[in-house]
């Protein structure tokens, strides 16, 4: 038997559906009884028993699992990237807030300058700015540099610090006098040395501005850390994206899912074609059985006809034989009758002769009667044989 390999899936499904319908009819499934039933059983839906449906569902579940796994991994990557972006947003917001705090500190220092009446180009303001620049140079030595003139002025402002044992003893004496609340007497040399070590005393304005400056530097340090973190986070995002481009997980998963569905489609088509082939073989077998049964019936009918023909020929032969026998018996009967008539004529002649002859009449009569009796018996025998032949 030949099966077309270019049948599409819909055609094969139609054939298989028709095959299932006929199989149910042969199994005695009553469609009306199924419709009249109020309770629906899952077994009647033929979901679990249908291998084609099972294969499709299995392929779909496997494809979804492949894509779902890749999707979960891809979504995890997106979540990681989003978390980094959220962190960057928080850092940028914190950076902006820190700048605002530093700007408010600058505004407070400007207000103090006006409050104390310090001119912007005065030595007091210049010394304050030099002290602030010194802190900047300490925090960023690669970015901020002090000139020799500025370094010399800083020594004058801050003092040189104790250099000898005498310098330490002199500073100790001054500290003790301040603690006891007494006014110590110093020589000109000692006063000069104290001025060199202690430097130029800070004004109230300078002290308050430096306190604000220290507060600002806390937020400047925080922004320095943020400026180092932002490139690191951006680099992490770039690295994750580059790593994603190397593997193509979603593309690979989609390809795998398509391969699974394609293989399942081929398998389903093969199953449907096999089912169609079985159905065609079954129909062919049924037609073959019907043809054999029909041939057997026709053979039996022909045999009966032949038997009837033989019976007819035999009956015709028997009828012909009976006709022949009847004709023979009729011929014998006619001959017997003819002889009987001839004998009767002869007897009558004998009787006539007997009357005129010398013999005794009674003896002649007796002989005639005996002959007639014998002739009668012969006639009866002929009639009886004819009747037997006809029966």
In whole angstroms, what is the distance from residue 145 CA to residue 285 CA? 106
Return the closest-CA partner of residue 95 out of 227, 288, 290, 193: 227
- Lowest mean pLDDT segment, chosen from 216-220, 260-264, 302-306: 260-264
Reading the block at residue 288, the tokens are 């073959």
Contacts of 91-100 with C-beta under 8 Å, sequence gap 24+, read 91/226, 91/229, 91/230, 91/233, 92/230, 94/222, 94/226, 95/223, 95/226, 95/227, 98/219, 98/220, 98/222, 98/223, 98/226, 99/219, 99/223
Q: What is the sign, positive or negative, of the torsion defined by CA atoms of 353, 357, 359, 363?
A: positive
31-55 confidence digits (pLDDT tens): 444 555 545 444 455 445 578 787 7
Question: What is the overall mean pLDDT for the chain?
Answer: 76
The predicted pLDDT at position 33 comes to 47
In whole angstroms, what is the distance from residue 310 CA to residue 374 CA? 45
Mean pLDDT value across residues 105-132: 95
The predicted pLDDT at position 86 comes to 95
The predicted pLDDT at position 16 comes to 46
Burial class from Cβ neighbours inside 10 Å (0-12, 13-18, 19+) for residue 213 reads buried
140-180 confidence digits (pLDDT tens): 888 999 999 998 888 888 777 677 888 788 778 878 887 88
Global pTM reads 0.45
pLDDT-based confidence at residue 116 (cuts at 50, 70, 90): very high
pLDDT-based confidence at residue 387 (cuts at 50, 70, 90): low
pLDDT-based confidence at residue 3 (cuts at 50, 70, 90): very low
Residue 126 has pLDDT above 80, yes or no: yes
Mean pLDDT value across residues 279-302: 83
The predicted pLDDT at position 153 comes to 87
The predicted pLDDT at position 110 comes to 96
Which has more confidence, 90 or 353? 90
228-285 confidence digits (pLDDT tens): 999 999 999 998 888 877 766 656 667 777 777 777 677 767 777 777 777 777 888 8
Residue 331 has pLDDT above 60, yes or no: yes
Residue 224 has pLDDT above 90, yes or no: yes
Residue 87 has pLDDT above 60, yes or no: yes
The string of DSSP letters for 51-69 reads HHHHHHHHHHHHHHHHHHH
Mean pLDDT value across residues 95-124: 96
């Amino acid at each position: 038997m030949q099966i077309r390999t270019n049948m599409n899936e819909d055609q094969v499904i139609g054939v298989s559906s028709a095959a299932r319908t006929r199989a149910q009819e042969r199994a005695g499934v009553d469609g009306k009884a199924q419709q009249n039933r109020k309770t629906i059983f899952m077994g009647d839906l033929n979901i679990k028993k249908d291998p084609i449906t099972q294969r499709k569902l299995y392929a779909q579940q496997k494809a979804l699992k492949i894509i779902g796994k890749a999707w979960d991994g891809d979504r995890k990557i997106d979540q990681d990237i989003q978390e980094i972006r959220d962190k960057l947003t928080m850092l940028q917001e914190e950076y902006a807030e820190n700048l605002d705090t530093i700007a408010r500190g600058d505004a407070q220092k400007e207000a103090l300058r006006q409050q104390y009446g310090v001119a912007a180009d005065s030595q007091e303001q210049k010394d304050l700015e030099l002290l602030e620049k010194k802190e900047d140079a300490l925090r960023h030595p690669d970015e901020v540099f002090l000139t020799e003139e500025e370094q010399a002025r800083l020594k004058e402002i801050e003092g040189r610090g104790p250099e000898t044992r005498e310098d330490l003893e002199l500073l100790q004496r001054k500290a003790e006098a301040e603690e006891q609340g007494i006014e110590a007497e110093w020589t000109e040399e000692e006063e000069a040395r104290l001025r060199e070590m202690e430097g130029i005393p800070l004004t109230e304005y300078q002290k308050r501005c430096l306190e604000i400056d220290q507060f600002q530097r806390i937020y400047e340090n925080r922004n320095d850390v943020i400026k180092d973190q932002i490139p690191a986070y951006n680099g992490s995002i770039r690295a994750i994206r580059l790593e994603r481009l190397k593997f193509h997980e979603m593309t690979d998963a989609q390809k795998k899912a398509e391969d699974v569905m394609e293989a399942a489609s081929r398998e389903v088509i093969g199953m449907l074609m096999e089912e169609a082939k079985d159905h065609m073989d079954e129909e062919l077998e049924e037609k073959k059985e019907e043809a054999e049964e029909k041939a057997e019936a026709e053979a039996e009918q022909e045999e009966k006809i032949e038997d009837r023909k033989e019976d007819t020929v035999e009956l015709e032969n028997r009828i012909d034989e009976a006709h022949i026998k009847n004709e023979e018996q009729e011929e014998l009967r006619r001959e017997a009758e003819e002889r009987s008539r001839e004998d009767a004529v002869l007897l009558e002649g004998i009787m006539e002769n007997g009357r005129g002859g010398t013999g005794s009449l009674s003896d002649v009569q007796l002989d005639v009667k005996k002959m007639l009796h014998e002739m009668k018996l012969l006639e009866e025998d002929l009639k009886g044989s004819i009747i037997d032949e006809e029966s």
